[in-house]
Homo-oligomer: A and B are copies of this chain.
Amino acid sequence: MAKAPTVYDVAERSGVSIATVSRVLRSPAAVREHTRERVLAAVTELGYVPSAAARGLAARRTNVIGLFFPGHDETVPDQPVDSARGDTVPIVDDDSDTASDTENLYFDEVLRGAEIEAWRRGFALMVAAGRGSSREALVTDIAGRVDGLAVLARTVPDELLAYVARRIPVVILAGAQRADDFDHVSASNGPGMRTLANYVLQDHGVHDVVYIAGPTDSPDDAERLTGFRNALADSGVAERNVRILRSDFTRDGGRATAARILAAERPRAILCSNDETALGVLDVLEQRGIRVPEDVLVTGFDGITAGRHSRPKLTTVHQPMVELGRAAVHAITARLDDPNLEPQAFTLPVEVVLRESCPRV
């Protein structure tokens, strides 16, 4: 790596001042064509690459947006990376680990959306995982590098967000719409669940229903539960005639809860507040030879990929994850354009996706 050329080198080589070089790069229209060509030629010859640090310093903005997502360091070994030794290739049996492909996929799509939208608006995207230790250091480190920050809900403690939000716009992604000063982007959890539940209660005419809620600290879950209750009201079903249980959003939790449910009288439908729970329920039902959807209807929420491949395929409410990422970036840029905006809440539309576990009637 030779020492990187600077505007000064380019200016000297093309016989202009550094201001002109800068203008060629930032506002080409302000420079005569002849001059511009000479400068660009020098740029290419020297292999000039503008320093984003210097530009950021001078322009007082970095044109970078940060995206914070939940951490995962537990799962990766601390060992150094090694090359293969020799050509030995082990042969192992099925490695199915259903745990790993849920949140990942969710995040992957959010990232995709954020990246696309950021690029369209002329920003680069920086990513970081929220980690258990020294989270604070990470957050301020990232905060110093970006013009705005999107944070997956509950990845970062509130007081830390507040600290960062004193300097740059912060948007909270896919959590609750809380009454705080942050911008929020999320999906219509309540209406989604309400529509799906009404489909079961009315179109399928099934009133004998169990609802499996998620952890109490999840704001999404609270909204979904409310949606379910609204559906009960819509359909004229008294809440005391249905069971509402709590699980923990995991597949294992779904299995355990399904076992509890089946210990009593078997319901005609089990509505789950997320897909993983529903997959766990399906596991238990299949294992006991209970047919889905003939004996029991099952539904989830989220639209994770695994639900498309389950047996039977899972009916669910699909969240627009790519759009969530895009909306987050949109919210940040909107606030950068006008810092005095009132705190905003974007609620993105969802879709009920009917598959085998609760088919179209």
User: Is A191 in contact with B84, judged by CB distance below 8 angstroms?
Assistant: yes
Tell me the minimal C-beta distance from A225 to chain B in angstroms.
16
Interface assignment of A126: CB less than 8 Å from any CB of chain B: yes
Chain B residues lying within 8 Å of A101, measured Cβ to Cβ, are 105, 305
The reply to whether B124 and A125 contact each other, CB–CB distance below 8 Å, is no
Question: In whole angstroms, what is the CA distance A49 to B101 when docked?
Answer: 35
Inter-chain contacts of A115 with B (CB < 8 A):
127-129
How many residues belonging to A are interface residues under a CB distance threshold of 8 Å? Answer: 102
CB distance from A106 to the nearest CB of B (A): 10
Q: Any chain B CB within 8 A of the CB of A131?
A: yes
Copies in the complex: 2
Give Cα distance in the complex from A152 to B3, angstroms.
Answer: 26
Q: What's the Cα separation between A167 and B9 when bound, in Å?
A: 15
* Residues of B close to A93: CB separation below 8 A: 353-355, 360
* CB of A184, distance to nearest CB on chain B (Å): 11
Pick the contact of A188 from B87, B94, B313, B360 — CB < 8 Å?
B87
**Interface membership of A150, Cβ < 8 A:** no
Question: Would you call B64 and A57 a contact (CB within 8 A)?
Answer: no
User: How close is A199's CB to chain B, nearest CB, in angstroms?
Assistant: 6
Partner among B117, B309, B354 whose Cβ is within 8 Å of the Cβ of A310: B309
What are 14 A-B interface contacts by the 8 Å CB criterion? A2-B167, A49-B144, A64-B145, A76-B322, A82-B349, A84-B350, A89-B196, A91-B199, A93-B354, A94-B313, A96-B308, A104-B112, A305-B305, A306-B309
* Interface of A toward B, CB cutoff 8 Å: 1-2, 4, 47, 49-57, 62, 64, 72-73, 76, 80-85, 87-96, 101, 104-105, 107-109, 111-113, 115-117, 119, 124-129, 131, 138, 140-145, 163-164, 166-169, 188, 190-192, 194-196, 199, 305-306, 308-311, 313, 317-318, 322-323, 326-327, 330, 339, 345-355, 360
